[in-house]
Amino acid sequence: MRLSAEQLKRFHEDGFLILPSLFSKDEVAALTAALPGLYAEDTPANFREKNGLVRTTMGLHLRDATYARVVRHPRLVEPAMQILEDRDLYIQQVKVNVKAAFGGEVWQWHYDFATHHREDGVPKPLALNLHILLDEVTEFNGPLWFIPGSHQGGPVPTHLDTVTTSYPLWCVEAPEVARLAGARGIVSAKGPAGTALIFGDSLVHGSPPNMSPWNRRIFSLILNPVSNAGRSNKRPDWQHHRDLTPVVPLADDCLLPGAAAAE
């Protein structure tokens, strides 16, 4: 899959793309079928909210065969190679972020490079976050909020927040968010299940709590050039993988029934 010239232009200007219904209902069903079992596993790769509900479940491509295929899906990998103009990308992080109905907590304003640089020793903000919405995401169930173009001035100051939620996060100060949002606005990344999101490592984003009766689950694959790999082993492998083998795209139907048997 290749992005159009207009899509590439929008990505470089805004820092993100929203690609509605890029994945089918059957492909989304294949991804969601494994989640209850993965949530139930007793592993430190499952981070839980303060109320005990799963907040994020990580390292999924090492725990489940379907996720081992989706991290190599050409509709994710090929646009990343195109944007970065680099075919040697490694799988830096794999997770599903969960905002359970009535209980999913906030993700504070942040950008991913602050964590990748400070915790993992990644030199440059080149990594790409490739998302698949696993539920319909509306204004009610905790959508991602993007500040368009907030990457253009380079990384902004951050601080480590270990109090607000159960997950430590390098966050952007409120006055800086107000300045950026006042100049550029905020976009809510909504869409039906199967919608894909692509955004860069320095884009300021966050998401509100889920007070609705509807779950909000989002699959996230982060790909990073091998030449830009992390230099630190501060975090465990399930938070920043150390296998630098370049990812190779599979067939486009790799998530559909029968794909596993055909490999």
Q: What is the mean pLDDT of each run of 10 residues along the chain (263 residues)?
A: 96 98 97 96 93 93 97 98 97 97 94 96 97 98 98 91 91 96 97 98 97 97 98 93 97 86 48
- Is residue 114 within 8 A of residue 158, CB to CB? The reply is yes
Encoding tokens for residue 99? 């905002």
Q: Which domain holds residue 155?
A: 5-257
Residue corresponding to tokens 């232009």? 9
Is 252 part of a structural domain of the chain?
yes
Is 211 part of a structural domain of the chain?
yes
Q: Is the pTM of this model over 0.85?
A: yes
Neighbours of 162 (CB within 10 A): 9
Neighbours of 127 (CB within 10 A): 26
Encoding tokens for residue 193? 């299940």
Element (H, E) at 19: strand 16-19
CATH for 70: 2.60.120.620
pLDDT recorded at residue 50: 87
Is 240 part of a structural domain of the chain?
yes
Encoding tokens for residue 247? 């990812």
pLDDT recorded at residue 262: 46
220: left (phi over 0), alpha (psi -120 to 50) or beta: beta
Encoding tokens for residue 68? 């081992």
- Is residue 250 within 8 A of residue 72, CB to CB? The reply is yes
- Is residue 204 within 8 A of residue 180, CB to CB? The reply is yes
Q: Domain count for the chain, please give it.
A: 1
Is 24 part of a structural domain of the chain?
yes
Using DSSP's 3-state secondary structure scheme, residue 166 falls into coil
Is 262 part of a structural domain of the chain?
no
Interacting residues of 206 by C-beta distance below 8 A, sequence separation 6+ = 106, 107, 108, 109, 110, 144, 145
pLDDT recorded at residue 163: 92
Is 263 part of a structural domain of the chain?
no
- Is residue 120 within 8 A of residue 41, CB to CB? The reply is no
- Is residue 193 within 8 A of residue 136, CB to CB? The reply is yes
Rounded CA-CA distance 203/112 in Å is 8
Looking at residue 98, what DSSP letter applies? Answer: E
